[in-house]
Structure formats: structure tokens, C-alpha cells
Amino acid sequence: MDKKIFELIKKEAGRQKEGIHLIPSENFASEEVMKVLGSVLTNKYAEGYPGKRYYQGNGFVDEIESLAIERGKKLLGVEHLNVQPYSGSPANSEVLMALAEVGDTICGLKLSAGGHLTHGHPKITFSGKFFRSVQYDVEPDGRIDYEKLGELVKETRPKIIFAGTTAYPYILDFKKFGEIADSVGAWLIADISHIVGLVIGGAHPSPVPYVHIVTSTTHKSLRGPRGAIIGVTKKGISFAKSFGILDLEKRIDRAVFPGMQGGPHENTIGALAVAFNEADSEEFNDYAHQIVKNAKTLADSLKEKGYKVFGTENHLMLIDVGKERGKEVAVALEKANIFVNSNMVPHDEGSPMRPSGIRIGTPAMTTRGFREKDFIKVADLIDRVCCEVNKNEANLEGNLAEIDIEVKNWMREFS
Ligand SMILES: Cc1ncc(COP(=O)(O)O)c(C=O)c1O
């Protein structure tokens, strides 16, 4: 037995059990999902797609991948689903590869405004390096101004528009995004990585009627394994046909394999099938709605205490903790066993390395059983840590350690 690794895993399991986890992109996958991830499916090579593999011995794997596809299609309401992308970043790159040529114009929300790196972040990313990237911003209140976006799109005429976010605390108006993309004949990609669980559970409007392609990670609010999916909508298929592309689904599949990837991770795909099955339930719908209720309670409680909070209408919020102080506060919270990430706030006067905010989300602790009353307590704990940081007295470390013990004792009440 590799003692070193297993001891470290044991410690990480303890950290996950004893802490308050508020990073909005994290969650706790079920035992069953983890069992499939660690199963014999990891041993099998299966380049290709069900029924068309380059390796023998894929009869059972074909059935598993087909189940994942059918379950996901039903839950999301898409016409076609590729479940092979290794993660969210490859999925978005694969869509770019399928629909655009190097040098084409693409449009996405700025990273500093809550967009994702793969939506055209300039210079250092695949999407920013190989395409001409036009980026839109949020207003000082943190919201997208759809009229402004419409004007930008008319001026710059992108081939692809991304509607998707990683740190945006409001409902995305996919209908408006659809109208904007239609006005210039652009492809519209909804990257619902963060909100997929809310969409499936009915706690956020679905983009499917308004967009051409849907991408999503599967390990955030969906509570599945680390992976991603690419869906093709009815609107996408008829849009493609309108300019002579009769095989949009194949184009997407070919961009995934052999375009960007080799053998699919069938253990992940099996675990995804399980996660889809778990999400196809009343219980999951309740979970999705509880995430939003919990987030609202936490945001309201922090506002009552005088914090400048952006949001929330979904699972996350941004808290302005003072110019360039986000990292300092996130580190202090970690010492108290509360895990968040530092993040830029809208029109931040700091920088990505020295942001002025923290990003907080409720999916993970809602999975652990937290309800509104628990998030009122979380607001108190966050406030106490921020007060300690502001006082910055000699006993700061000792005071944070006291909160840490309090958190650990409290977390024993949750399985
Ligand atoms: C909106 C969005 N798209 C894509 C990704 C990338 O996913 P991954 O980290 O799995 O590559 C993320 C991850 O945070 C995300 O939030």
C-alpha cells in the first residue's frame, strides 16, 4: 500500500469533513459516484463512440456510455450529447474547434467580470491566442447590460458568443442572449458549468430553447465526477442547416475525438450516468431550490452586517472586503476552517493577483445538510473573521484558532 498517498487522502477527507466549504464550484459527490470512478472502468480503452470503437471489448462500456448520453439528453432537453470531454476547458476548446477557424472573432464575458478563461481571455489562453477576442463587461452593479452587449456585437460581429459565467451572481437572460446572437447570425454557446444543477432542478431558467450549443462541467452543482458535456439543441441543428451544415452533431463529436482528445475516461462517464440518475429526482429539485434559498439568506445576513454584497439570485455571491484585501481575508478564513476563494469584484480597483473580494457559494454545504439557519451562523462566522483581520491585533492567530475549533465542533453534527 502506498502509505504516503493514503495518509494524505485520509487527511484531506478530514479537512473536507471538518470544514465549511463555500467555494461555489465545489461539491460532494455521492458514494456511488465515487465508487464508479474507482471501478474497473478505468482499465478500458474505448476510442470512438458507442457502436464505433477502435478497440475490441467495449460491449459493456458502450451500454454505459449510451446510458449516460440518454439520461443527460432527457435531463437537459438537448437533441445530442457528447459526454466525453475530459473537463470544462477542453469542452469549450472543442466547441471552438468545431465551429470556428483560427483568427475568427469570438465574444465572451471578461474574466474580471465573472467570465471564464476559455471564453476568449486575451493572450495567455487557447481561446484568446488563436481567435480575435472581444470581451464584454458588467456594470458597476455587477449586472450585464444586454443593450450594450447588443451594440458591441453589432459593431464587432463575432462568429461565436459565449453566455456563461464563473462568478456572476444573477440570473442569465438567455432569451436576450439569443436575440443578440440572432441579430448578427452568431453561434451562441451557453456554458452552464456553474448553474447546471440549478437548471436541471428548475431553480434557474434553461438556456436550451435559445442557444445552439450547451457546455457544462459535471462536478459543480450537478455533484457528478470531474468531467464535462457538450449538448446540441434543436435551435442549433436548424441554425446549422440554414447555412448548409447538415452534420452539426458529428462536427462536435469529431472535434472531441479525434480532434482534441484520445480515449474517453469511461470511469468518469459511468459516474456521470449515476449522477444524472441522482439528479433525475424530486430530491434533487429540492436540493437545487435549497441552494438558492441558502445563498439568499447568507447574502442578506452579510448585507445586514454592512458588507457590500453582489447578488444573489443563484448559488453564489461576491463580497467586497476592501481594496486588494480579498486574499488576506480568504487566508484568514482558511485558518478558521472556512474555505472560500479570493475573487475580483465588478470594476475592481485591485488586480487578479490582489483582488478586493471573496466569492462564496452554497452548493457544497447544502449537500451536507445546511439550511437557512445554518447560513445565518455562517454569516456570523465570516463576520467575526473579517473583524479579527481588521483589528489585526497580536492575538489574531490565536483568535482564528478559536473559531477553527468552534467550526470543527459544529461540523461534527453533519454527516
Ligand atoms: C463557466 C466555466 N466554464 C469552464 C470551466 C472550466 O472547467 P474545468 O476547470 O473543468 O476545466 C469552469 C471552471 O471553473 C467554469 O466555471
Specify the CATH number for the domain of residue 303: 3.90.1150.10
Residue 36, domain member (yes or no):
yes
Residue 393 has what pLDDT? 87
304 is catalytic: no
Asked if residue 191 has its Cβ within 6 Å of ligand 1, the reply is yes
Q: Work out which ligand 1 atom sits closest to the CA atom of 166.
A: 16
**Whole-angstrom Cα distance, residue 298 to residue 308?**
13
Per-residue confidence (pLDDT) for residue 212, from 0 to 100:
98
Q: Does 45 lie in the same domain as 115? A: yes
Residues 258 and 374 in one domain: no
Q: Which residues of the chain have pLDDT under 70?
A: none
Task: Please indicate, yes or no, whether residues 95 and 243 belong to a single structural domain of this protein.
Answer: yes
From 84, 118, 119, mutation site for ligand 1 pocket: most ligand atoms within 8 A of C-beta: 118
Looking at residue 345, what DSSP letter applies?
A: P
pLDDT of residue 392: 85
- Residue 415: the pLDDT is 79
118 lines ligand 1 (CB under 6 A): yes
87 lines ligand 1 (CB under 6 A): yes
121 lines ligand 1 (CB under 6 A): no
Whether 200 and 233 map to the same domain: the answer is yes
CA distance 17 to 19: 6
Closest CA to 161 of 93, 212, 229, 103: 212
Domain boundary among 279, 294, 329: 279
Whether 25 is covered by a domain: the verdict is no
Q: In this structure, are 224 and 293 located in the same domain?
A: no
Considering its fold, how many domains does the chain have in total?
2
Domain boundary residue, one of 279, 301, 330? 279
> Distances from the Cα of 274 to the Cαs of 26, 91, 306, in angstroms?
18, 20, 43
Whether 159 and 132 have beta carbons less than 8 Å apart is answered as: no
Residue 376's domain spans which residues?
A: 282-411
User: In this structure, is the dihedral angle defined by the CA atoms of residues 142, 147, 149 and 155, taken in order, positive or negative?
Assistant: negative
DSSP class of residue 142 equals: S
110 lies in the same domain as 226 = yes
Same domain, 262 and 324: no
Q: Distance from the CA of 392 to the center of ligand 1, in angstroms?
A: 35
Q: Which residue, judged by its Cα, is nearest atom 8 of ligand 1?
A: 88
Residue 14 lies in a domain: no
Whole-angstrom CA distances from 207 to 171, 195, 305 are 11, 11, 35
| Catalytic-role residue among 17, 18, 45, 368 | 45
**CA gap 146, 353 in Å, rounded:** 29
Distance, CA of 95 to CA of 123 (rounded, Å): 19
Cβ of 27 closer than 6 Å to ligand 1, yes or no, is no
Question: Within this chain, do residues 260 and 348 fall inside the same structural domain, yes or no?
Answer: no
Q: Tell me: do 363 and 243 sit in the same domain.
A: no
Quick one: 104 and 214 in the same domain? yes
Domain boundary among 216, 247, 279: 279
45 is catalytic: yes
Note whether residue 3 is domain-resident. Answer: no
pLDDT recorded at residue 352 = 86
Q: Do the domain assignments include residue 349?
A: yes
Q: Which residue has the cell 458529428?
A: 250
Choose the catalytic residue: 18, 47, 280, 406.
Answer: 47
Q: Which of 191, 266, 278, 404 is catalytic?
A: 191
Choosing from 226, 234, 303, 308, the catalytic residue is 226
Q: Known catalytic residue: 94?
A: no
- Are 214 and 340 part of one and the same domain? no
User: Is there an atom of ligand 1 within 6 Å of 110 CB?
Assistant: no
Q: Would 135 be classed as within a structural domain?
A: yes
- The CA 15 to ligand 1 mean position distance, Å, reads 23
Choose which residue among 89, 110, 126, 230 to substitute to test ligand 1 binding: the one with the highest number of ligand atoms within 8 A of its C-beta.
89
Q: Does 226 participate in catalysis according to the annotation?
A: yes
Does a structural domain hold residue 174? yes
Question: Do residues 309 and 317 touch, judged by C-beta distance below 8 A?
Answer: yes
Identify whether 268 is a catalytic site residue.
Answer: no
- 265 and 293 inside one domain: no
Q: Write down the pLDDT at residue 228.
A: 98
- The pLDDT of residue 201 is 98
The CA 90 to ligand 1 mean position distance, Å, reads: 9
In sequence order, which residues have a C-beta less than 8 Å from that of residue 26 and are 6 or more positions away?
A: 220, 363, 364
CATH assignment of the domain containing 114: 3.40.640.10
Give domain status of residue 22, yes or no. no
- Ligand 1 contact via 25 beta carbon (within 6 Å): yes
Is residue 194 lining ligand 1, measured as CB closer than 6 Å?
yes
